[in-house]
Amino acid sequence: MSTHDHRVPQPQTGTPAAPGLAEAALGVCHTLNNMLMVASANLELLADSHQAPSGPRMTQAYGAIEKAQHQVACLTALARSHALPQQHMELPLADIVRTTLKRARSHPSLLGCTIKLREQDQQAVVTADRELLEAALLNLLTNAGEATKGQGLIVVRTFARRSRRRCGVEVLDRGPGLPVAGDRVFDLFYTTRGSIGHGVGLYLVRSVAESCGGRVEAHNRRGGGARFVLLLPASFPDGEHA
């Protein structure tokens, strides 16, 4: 464990008015995830016994299960953030980003993408719930992958604003860009992908950012595409002006 991985007492940041609903949602998500695991295991057994259809139909079935598992993971993280106290601790941002990138490279929405990491400052330490922060970053990446239809270049850039004691992660893609201005893309259940979208991922990103005292921004890029910026309060063990 990192030397900066220290627990820091933090108030719960969920919605106190509906803890029962959030706990119920956690239970439902757990059940759905178990069902999806059973479906995936049965598909693998059929494939091994050569009884399953091969080719595109099998690939489509696996893809549907993996996407459903990602959506359940989003809902689980969101419900957890409201039902349970967040375990805030000091975390090196660079480690969180690298760990999340390793997970992201095998995600079905990102398999055809090239992801490049550009690190400006590797010393920033943030105070956050590790699991939720990784979930937020993964959602920014999968959002970029879905926007580019699983192809093309996605750039992830870490940066620091030491004089303001801030750091951040920027995710850039060359998809169609944002159809609406402002913060509406972060509204719960807002989606531009019709029946295949769930409108939870970006809402989760904003919730996690705000629970850390930060924020998230979305902008259109010149030449096409979108730029999402996650800004968080930070400390710097090597000095504010190093």
The total domain count for the chain is 2
- Residue 9's pLDDT is what? 42
Q: How confident is the model over 131-155, as a mean pLDDT?
A: 92
> What are 219's two structure tokens?
């902008």
Most confident of 25-29, 61-65, 75-79, 102-106: 102-106
Q: How confident is the model over 182-208, as a mean pLDDT?
A: 79
139: exposed, middle or buried (C-beta count within 10 Å: 0-12, 13-18, 19+)? buried
Of 162-166, 169-173, 227-231, the range with the lowest mean pLDDT is 162-166
Tell me: do 68 and 161 sit in the same domain.
no
The shares of helix, strand and coil residues in the chain, as percent rounded to the nearest 5, are 45, 20, 35
Tell me: do 52 and 171 sit in the same domain.
no
* In-domain check, residue 13: no
- Residue 60's pLDDT is what? 73
- Residue 76's pLDDT is what? 72
Between 120 and 158, residue with greater pLDDT:
158
Tell me: do 173 and 73 sit in the same domain.
no
* In-domain check, residue 5: no
Tell me: do 47 and 63 sit in the same domain.
yes
Domain final residue, candidates 35, 53, 83: 83
Most confident of 104-108, 113-117, 119-123: 113-117
Determine the Cα–Cα distance for residues 160 and 108; give it in Å rounded to an integer: 31
- Per-residue pLDDT band for 4 (boundaries 50, 70, 90) equals low
The answer to whether residues 207 and 79 touch, using CB atoms and an 8 Å cutoff, is no
Domain range enclosing 214 = 88-233
Tell me: do 34 and 132 sit in the same domain.
no
Tell me: do 168 and 207 sit in the same domain.
yes
Tracing tokens 């095998």 back to the chain, one arrives at: 106
Domain final residue, candidates 38, 55, 83: 83
Tell me: do 59 and 168 sit in the same domain.
no
Domain final residue, candidates 67, 83, 99: 83
- Per-residue pLDDT band for 195 (boundaries 50, 70, 90) equals low
* In-domain check, residue 3: no
Region of 151 on the Ramachandran plot (φ > 0 left; ψ -120 to 50 alpha; else beta): beta
Tell me: do 164 and 113 sit in the same domain.
yes
Q: How confident is the model over 14-18, as a mean pLDDT?
A: 43
Say whether pLDDT at 2 is over 50: no
Tell me: do 103 and 202 sit in the same domain.
yes
* In-domain check, residue 242: no
Say whether pLDDT at 152 is over 50: yes
Name every residue whose Cβ is closer than 8 Å to that of residue 233 and which is 6 or more positions away in sequence: 126, 127, 165, 166, 212, 213, 214
Query: Percent of the chain at pLDDT above 90?
Result: 42
Tell me: do 137 and 172 sit in the same domain.
yes
Say whether pLDDT at 235 is over 90: yes
Tell me: do 113 and 149 sit in the same domain.
yes
Say whether pLDDT at 174 is over 70: yes
Determine the Cα–Cα distance for residues 27 and 75; give it in Å rounded to an integer: 11
- Per-residue pLDDT band for 116 (boundaries 50, 70, 90) equals very high
Tell me: do 126 and 51 sit in the same domain.
no
Chain-wide mean pLDDT for the chain? 81
Of 107-111, 122-126, 129-133, the range with the lowest mean pLDDT is 107-111
Name every residue whose Cβ is closer than 8 Å to that of residue 205 and which is 6 or more positions away in sequence: 136, 139, 140, 186, 216, 228, 230
Look up the CATH number of the domain holding residue 143.
3.30.565.10
180: exposed, middle or buried (C-beta count within 10 Å: 0-12, 13-18, 19+)? exposed
Q: For the whole model, what pTM was predicted?
A: 0.74
Integer distance in angstroms from the first to the last C-alpha of the chain? 24
